[in-house]
Amino acid sequence: MAKTKVLERKPLSFAEKTFLPQIVSGLKTTFGTMLSKGVTLQYPEERPVIPDNYRGVPTLVRDPNGREKCVSCQLCEFVCPPKAIRIIPGEIDADAEPDRAHVEKAPKEFDINMLRCIYCGLCQEVCPEEAIFLQDIFSLSGYSREEMINDKEKLYELGGTLPDKHFKWDKKKAAEQAGNAHH
């Protein structure tokens, strides 16, 4: 048994017994709160500040040159726990985009079913091309199930362009041309 120590309470003074000083101090507190600024965010007009590493709606991004980064390796599709991602790989047309021909693959279709997505961010983590990002969009709604499936076009529209540190494929091409294919 733990030792218990009974604390002696000071007997209440006459003023305290009338409750009036307590009521006055309570009134002061509430009046202070009334004058202080509220904490309400007027939501549809004012938006909260979203931290940088927030996991919002997954999106596909382009590199600063406006080229799509996804090479349809399908790692995200494989890792996605609720199987929300569906990718149909396609080939890059060498005639249409000669400077990207060496990348070889790009998604023909890329669907993310937002009714299944659990915003875990594993797709972003697994992506070797830094092509898929969970960005700051936090409110997504639609009138039908079909509308809630983001197709490739929608994903690029939501994703926009993010800065790129590596320009991996440009370096690879440069290395190839310099005779060092295993850069």
Enumerate binding residues for another protein (CB under 8 A).
23, 26-27, 29-31, 33-34, 36, 38-40, 42
**Choice between 4 and 36, CB closer to another protein:** 36
3 state SS of 86? strand
Query: What is the nearest approach in angstroms of another protein to the Cβ of residue 17?
Result: 10
Query: What is the nearest approach in angstroms of another protein to the Cβ of residue 143?
Result: 24
Query: What is the nearest approach in angstroms of another protein to the Cβ of residue 36?
Result: 7
**Choice between 4 and 40, CB closer to another protein:** 40
**Choice between 39 and 96, CB closer to another protein:** 39
CB atoms within 10 A of CB 4: 6
**Choice between 27 and 118, CB closer to another protein:** 27
Query: What is the nearest approach in angstroms of another protein to the Cβ of residue 136?
Result: 25
